[in-house]
Amino acid sequence: MITEFLSKILKTFETGSGLWNPLVWICAIVVAFLLMYILRGFGNRKFKKATGQTQAFLSGNPEYEKEQMHVKGGNVYWGFTETLKWAYTVFDKMHTGNVSDYILWFVIIMGIFFIVIGVI
Amino acid sequence: MSTDGILTFLLQHSPALIVAVPLLGAFLTPIIGKINDKIRNLFVIIIVLLTSFFVFLLSSNILSNGSIRTYVFGAASANNPVIRIFFQVDGLNAFMIIIGAILSIVAVLFSFRYLKEYTGQDKFYTLVLLMIAGMFGMMLTGDMFNFFVFLEITSIASCALIAFWTSKGESVYAGLKYIVISTIGALFILFAIAILYGQYNALNMGFLAASIQYTFLDKVALVLLISGLAMKAGIVPMHMWMPDAYGRAPISILLVGATQASLYALFRMVFTVYGSHLADILRHIKFRFFVTIEFDITLNGILGVLIIILALFTIIIGVFMALKQSDFKRLIAFAAVAEIGYMLLAIGAAIITISEIDTETGTIILSEVGVNSLKGGLFHIINDALDIGLMFLVAGAIYYVTKETSLNKLGGLARNMKYTTIFFLIGLFAVAGIPPMNGFASKLLIYESTYEINPILSIIAIMCSILLLAMFVKVFHSIFLGPKQEKFEKIREVPKSMLIAMAIISCIIIIFGLFPDIILQNIIEPAANALINNGLYIGGI
């Protein structure tokens, strides 16, 4: 009974063309962490906290207080959104917040559906 | 009466009780609220647990033996499908009500402390129970007009919940937008129902599935149904109400359930009501361009392509818009839009692979890829409900302690809210489909099956999944990491009841992630079989 239960639980998830077993994955993660821990043991034990060894090097610029260094949510991925500004301009135009526009999109999609399904 | 006898009796009447109990509870809540807040809360959770008990009783019965259960109101049997009100429960319905039950328990448990300091709690719980009754009604009914009634109940309750914080103008405006959108969507659905009733003199879904001829009027009804339900399900470009509504509702997790009930209805209409004509050849195209080219346009072909195009837009626009949001709840709402795209992509891919319909048994014949895609899509429905649901709970927890939803004003909360941080990380990995969380198993099925149809589809899906991860990493960085902020120094972890609600949903996510095969075999496969084998549903009347 226990064997049957275990075989059910440990059964590999087959996706048609592939397979996936989360428990094997977890075992692999555990082994990887153990290896990392062992490798860490080979590290330099002469490391000194709160000395020049731990100071960040910001291309020669002074290091600000930590409170000033926190990048706010609105600034994260600024580069990504700036590069794709052309796409965001279109998306922003779509999202007007005006309920009449919401209905207009509904009518447009219904029209497309009608042309494709109704006419064909 | 013995215990078995009682259970059999309850099982027999469970389809009705699942709707009747929360409905009765909704009407009693304001009266009980007059006595005491604690007694009212106890009453509400008992009602929800009792409803969930009936849900699990019914679901376990349906899913274990793959049967269908028909409940006829006001008669012993389904002797007149025209006028009787039916609840028809097959594997798909059973699957959907499980989602509804999980979301309901967690939402109510979370609300107790979350809303403790606000007035109007009697009204809030009344609306929550009404919404639960409407949601279950949508998921259980086998009657088109009944479906419309439950859709309206859910919409009105949802609208009032979105506008619950009436002191905030934005909430009221979001509620107004939602009711306009819902009413227009529902009106077109009602129009479609009227067309079908006018033609076939029946409202029963199984009866309609058996009789539908796919005339021009049926095509019009199909267009109206798909458009109306797609808007209710938040499919791009009809999704714009979702960030407004999800972003303003006090308990957005219940709205996820209502949205998925609309998605369920969309699948039911396409696969069951119009299922017998899905493989119909609509046009035979023949033209000469150096060589003669001939091909057939089938209903499943054009429907599948349309759904896949909408799904891709839903995923891409959902993810891209989420990435630029600085309001936590709006960001999750856009992520929820993208997740709906994944489900739709899988279902569209499954529809495309339909090769024929077995007219004798009513079975829709799909390729193996299509079946896997369908399973992936259905699996993702429950995963999305859990993952996005957990994210909304975490958002609620953050708002509860900080009264902030702007990512620009938050930071360093991991120090004070260790458990919430862990729950957020679980949700983050699950939404992004990182192994070994539940989202990975369903997305793997979707990626593999869509790759077989067209590799571009799975490439877009994977890329957007990476962007989803990036987006939630941004949220994690903005809210939980960073230096301590003076204004948040005094905040503490949220109360236990809220932590328990998040813990319940996190545990389910982990269990689903660790044992996907068990979930697939016992919950998803019966649901997929119910969607494919229409004979059982039609034979149920």
- Answer left, alpha or beta for residue A49, where phi above 0 means left and psi between -120 and 50 means alpha: beta
Can you list the positions of beta strands (E) in B259-389?
281-289, 291-298, 354-358, 363-366
Is B345 a residue whose pLDDT tops 90? yes
- Chain A positions touching B222 (Cβ under 8 A) are 117
Mutate to test the interface with B, among A64, A91, A102 (most CBs of B within 10 A): A102
Same domain, B379 and B476: yes
Q: Do A76 and B477 touch (CB under 8 A)?
A: yes
Q: Do A116 and B306 touch (CB under 8 A)?
A: yes
Q: Tell me the CB-side half-sphere exposure of residue B484, using CA atoms within 13 A.
A: 8
Mutate to test the interface with A, among B320, B415, B458 (most CBs of A within 10 A): B320
- Which residue is closest to B244 within chain A, CA to CA? A97
Q: Do A25 and B435 touch (CB under 8 A)?
A: yes
Min distance A116 CA to chain B CA atoms (Å): 7
- Which residue is closest to B412 within chain A, CA to CA? A70
> What separation, in Å, do the N-terminal and C-terminal C-alpha atoms of chain A show?
58
Q: Do A94 and B482 touch (CB under 8 A)?
A: no
As a whole number of angstroms, the distance between CA B220 and CA B490 comes to 60
* Residue that terminates a domain, selected from B211, B243, B267: B267
Per the model's pLDDT, the better-predicted residue between B380 and A62 turns out to be B380
Q: Do A105 and B240 touch (CB under 8 A)?
A: yes
Token pair, residue B11, equals: 């099982």
- Chain B positions touching A102 (Cβ under 8 A) are 177, 180-181, 238, 240-241
Same domain, B123 and B56: yes
Is B81 a residue whose pLDDT tops 60? no
B363 within a domain of the structure (yes/no)? yes
pLDDT band (50, 70, 90) for residue A117: confident
Which of the residue ranges B73-82, B122-131, B444-453 would you say has the lowest mean pLDDT? B73-82
Q: Which domain, by its residues, includes B482?
A: 301-541
The average pLDDT across B169-186 equals 91
Q: Which helix (H) or strand (E) holds B442?
A: helix B438-453
Same domain, B79 and B193: yes
Per the model's pLDDT, the better-predicted residue between B293 and B226 turns out to be B226
B289 within a domain of the structure (yes/no)? no
Q: Which helix (H) or strand (E) holds A20?
A: strand A19-20
Same domain, B371 and B455: yes
- Chain B segment 282-311 residues within 8 A of A by beta carbon are 282-283, 297, 299, 302-303, 306, 310
- Chain B positions touching A101 (Cβ under 8 A) are 240
As a whole number, the mean pLDDT across chain B is: 90
The long-range contacts involving A93-96, CB below 8 angstroms and separated by at least 24 positions, are A94/B237, A94/B240, A94/B317, A95/B240, A95/B243, A95/B321
DSSP β-ladder status, A19-20 and A13-14 = antiparallel
Min distance B84 CA to chain A CA atoms (Å): 31
Same domain, B24 and B135: yes
Same domain, B363 and B251: no
Q: Do B440 and A67 touch (CB under 8 A)?
A: no
Same domain, B118 and B263: yes
Length of chain A: 120
Maximum alpha-carbon separation in chain B: 83
Whether the upstream peptide bond of residue B436 has omega within 30° of 0, thus cis, is yes
Shortest CB distance from B302 goes to which of A25, A66, A116? A116
Please report, for chain B, how many H helices and E strands are present, in that order: 20, 6
B516 within a domain of the structure (yes/no)? yes
Q: B86 has which bridge partners?
A: B72
- Chain B positions touching A93 (Cβ under 8 A) are none
Shortest CB distance from A106 goes to which of B184, B222, B436? B184
Mutate to test the interface with B, among A99, A112, A114, A115 (most CBs of B within 10 A): A99
- Chain A positions touching B436 (Cβ under 8 A) are 22-23, 25-26
Is A8 a residue whose pLDDT tops 80? no
Min distance A112 CA to chain B CA atoms (Å): 9
Same domain, B335 and B237: no
DSSP H helical segments within B66-212, as ranges? 91-114, 121-140, 144-162, 169-200, 205-211
> How far, CA to CA in Å, does A51 sit from each of B353, B435, B468, B482?
65, 39, 39, 22
Same domain, B322 and B213: no
**pLDDT tens-digit map of A26-44:** 899 999 999 999 998 888 7
Per the model's pLDDT, the better-predicted residue between B87 and A51 turns out to be B87
pLDDT at B130: 95
Token pair, residue B386, equals: 């859990």
B471 within a domain of the structure (yes/no)? yes
CA dihedral sign of residues B525, B356, B93, B246: positive
How much of chain B, in percent, has pLDDT values that exceed 90? Answer: 59
B288 within a domain of the structure (yes/no)? no
As a whole number of angstroms, the distance between CA B151 and CA B174 comes to 19
- Amino acid (one-letter) located at A3: T
pLDDT at B23: 95
CB A9 within 8 A of CB B515: yes
The average pLDDT across B272-280 equals 86
Q: Which residue has the tokens 């994977």?
A: B462
Q: Do B372 and A16 touch (CB under 8 A)?
A: yes
The average pLDDT across B217-245 equals 91
- Which residue is closest to B510 within chain A, CA to CA? A22
How much of chain A, in percent, has pLDDT values that exceed 70? Answer: 88
B280 within a domain of the structure (yes/no)? no
Is B144 a residue whose pLDDT tops 70? yes
As a whole number of angstroms, the distance between CA B515 and CA A21 comes to 8
The average pLDDT across B286-295 equals 82
- Chain B segment 348-387 residues within 8 A of A by beta carbon are 368-369, 372
- Chain B positions touching A15 (Cβ under 8 A) are 372, 444-445, 448
Q: Which residue has the tokens 């279109």?
A: A90
Whole-angstrom Cα Rg for chain B:
23
DSSP β-ladder status, B85-89 and B69-73 = antiparallel
**pLDDT tens-digit map of B431-489:** 988 888 888 889 999 999 999 999 999 999 999 999 999 999 999 998 998 888 888 88
pLDDT at B73: 81
- Model pTM above 0.90: yes
As a whole number of angstroms, the distance between CA B10 and CA A62 comes to 72
Same domain, B246 and B382: no
The total number of structural domains that make up chain B: 2
Q: Which helix (H) or strand (E) holds B472?
A: helix B455-479
> Can you give the three-state secondary structure of B75-91, one letter per residue?
CCCCCCCCCCEEEEECH
pLDDT at A9: 62
As a whole number, the mean pLDDT across chain A is: 83
Is B293 a residue whose pLDDT tops 70? yes
Token pair, residue B90, equals: 């097959």
Q: Is B470 touching A (CB cutoff 8 A)?
A: yes
Q: How many CB atoms lie within 10 A of CB B122?
A: 17
As a whole number of angstroms, the distance between CA A18 and CA B500 comes to 36
- Chain B positions touching A18 (Cβ under 8 A) are 444, 448
Nearest to B135 by CA among B107, B112, B163, B115: B107
Q: Distance between alpha carbon A24 and the CA centroid of its chain, in Å?
A: 23
pLDDT band (50, 70, 90) for residue B4: confident
Token pair, residue B378, equals: 């259905």
Same domain, B335 and B210: no
- Amino acid (one-letter) located at B193: I
- Chain B segment 496-515 residues within 8 A of A by beta carbon are 513-515
Angle, in degrees to the nearest 10, between helices B241-248 and B169-200: 130
Angle, in degrees to the nearest 10, between helices B216-233 and B169-200: 160
Token pair, residue B530, equals: 């119910």
pLDDT at B76: 63
As a whole number of angstroms, the distance between CA B266 and CA B56 comes to 24
Mutate to test the interface with A, among B184, B238, B371 (most CBs of A within 10 A): B238
Per the model's pLDDT, the better-predicted residue between B128 and A21 turns out to be B128
Q: Do A118 and B223 touch (CB under 8 A)?
A: yes
Q: Is B221 touching A (CB cutoff 8 A)?
A: no
Shortest CB distance from A70 goes to which of B299, B320, B411? B411
Mutate to test the interface with B, among A109, A115, A119 (most CBs of B within 10 A): A109
Give the three-state DSSP class for B497.
helix
- Chain B segment 147-206 residues within 8 A of A by beta carbon are 176-177, 180-181, 184-185, 188
B286 within a domain of the structure (yes/no)? no
B194 within a domain of the structure (yes/no)? yes
Same domain, B227 and B305: no
DSSP β-ladder status, A19-20 and B291-298 = unpaired
- Chain A positions touching B317 (Cβ under 8 A) are 91, 94
Nearest to B204 by CA among B72, B85, B95, B94: B85
**pLDDT tens-digit map of A60-72:** 787 777 667 777 7
CA dihedral sign of residues B290, B291, B296, B302: negative
Token pair, residue B503, equals: 């813990």
